[in-house]
Amino acid sequence: MSLAAPLHALADLLERPMAALQRALGQRRFAWVFLVPNLVIFGAFTYLPIGLNFVYATTGGLNVLPHERTFVGLENFATLLACGSYLDPASCTKDLFWRSLFNTAWFVVLQVGFMILFSLATAAVVGAERVSGARIPGAVDLVGALLSAGSMTLGLGYFTVLQARTGQTLGKAALGIRVESTAGRTIGIARSVVRTLGYVASALPLGAGFLLALGPARRTLHDRLAGTVVVRVRSSR
């Protein structure tokens, strides 16, 4: 039995109701049958998080649900930017945020430098091919594969290393939260790797794994896979 047979059977099953729907709506309005679900999904995963960021940035408290939080205006930003010297994280009220910012800056420099290096390598290969008139088999593909793999490694490393060392990325430090084990300890590299890779499992079922954080345990799917929990912390100052 061909693998395409079930698909053909499904298409035949949907053909009549879809044709009837097209006749009822008309050809122009029928396009919205396919467009609206995509717009809803796009809005849910793009504009909704942006809106929630504005809500959390201008409200305070320990509650997760927006309607349970108190409006504080720009107070969070004033606290975040309160520093004796922006070059010395220890002088800042939210020193954990600034330490994470410095760590992120190092990762950015490292990743950009890595990408420039491989871009120059790709340019050198292409230039050599043009000058010599002979193609170097698989060279450009190899450099591209290494670039993609290297970028992914650095991206995963950002979350893995920072969570293993301090329990905080830049965003978590800004929100005053930290990842730790269910026993209240730092999670270490092994748990951090599992948690970082677990983001994929949380995102695949339309982000349903992240919605578990709204439950009583306040733990996402990747937290459950790694045996971790996100807790609120105070600045060390």
pLDDT digits 0-9 by tens, 28-40: 888 888 888 888 8
Eight-class DSSP state of 76: H
Examine the domain organization and report whether 111 and 15 are in the same domain.
Answer: no
Examine the domain organization and report whether 119 and 24 are in the same domain.
Answer: no
Examine the domain organization and report whether 214 and 108 are in the same domain.
Answer: yes
Examine the domain organization and report whether 106 and 174 are in the same domain.
Answer: yes
Half-sphere exposure of 100 (CA within 13 A, CB side): 26
Spell out, as residue ranges, where the chain has pLDDT lower than 50.
236-237
Q: Which H/E stretch holds residue 229?
A: strand 228-232
Does residue 155 sit within a domain? Answer: yes
Does residue 75 sit within a domain? Answer: no
Examine the domain organization and report whether 22 and 125 are in the same domain.
Answer: no
Does residue 66 sit within a domain? Answer: no
Examine the domain organization and report whether 96 and 140 are in the same domain.
Answer: yes
Does residue 59 sit within a domain? Answer: no
Give the pLDDT confidence score for residue 117 in this predicted structure: 77
Give the pLDDT confidence score for residue 223 in this predicted structure: 93
| Distance of alpha carbon 193 from the chain centroid | 15
Examine the domain organization and report whether 135 and 187 are in the same domain.
Answer: yes
Q: Which structural domain, as residue segments, surrounds residue 27? A: 5-45
Q: Which H/E stretch holds residue 183?
A: none
Q: Which residues have CB under 8 Å from 147's CB, separation 6+?
A: 115, 118, 119, 122
Select from 55, 48, 105, 99 the least CA-distant residue to 76. Answer: 55
Does residue 68 sit within a domain? Answer: no
Examine the domain organization and report whether 86 and 165 are in the same domain.
Answer: yes
Examine the domain organization and report whether 39 and 131 are in the same domain.
Answer: no
Q: What single string gives the DSSP state of each residue in 40-108? A: HHHHHHTHHHHHHHHHHHTEESS-SSGGGSEE-TTHHHHHHT-BS-TT-GGGBTTHHHHHHHHHHHHHH
Examine the domain organization and report whether 38 and 148 are in the same domain.
Answer: no
| Distance of alpha carbon 177 from the chain centroid | 17
Select from 215, 220, 207, 206 the least CA-distant residue to 177. Answer: 220
Examine the domain organization and report whether 30 and 131 are in the same domain.
Answer: no
Does residue 76 sit within a domain? Answer: no
Examine the domain organization and report whether 25 and 89 are in the same domain.
Answer: no
Bridge partners of 177, per DSSP, are 232
Does residue 69 sit within a domain? Answer: no
The number of distinct structural domains making up the chain is 2
Does residue 201 sit within a domain? Answer: yes
Bridge partners of 60, per DSSP, are 70
pLDDT digits 0-9 by tens, 137-172: 665 566 666 666 666 776 777 788 888 888 888 777
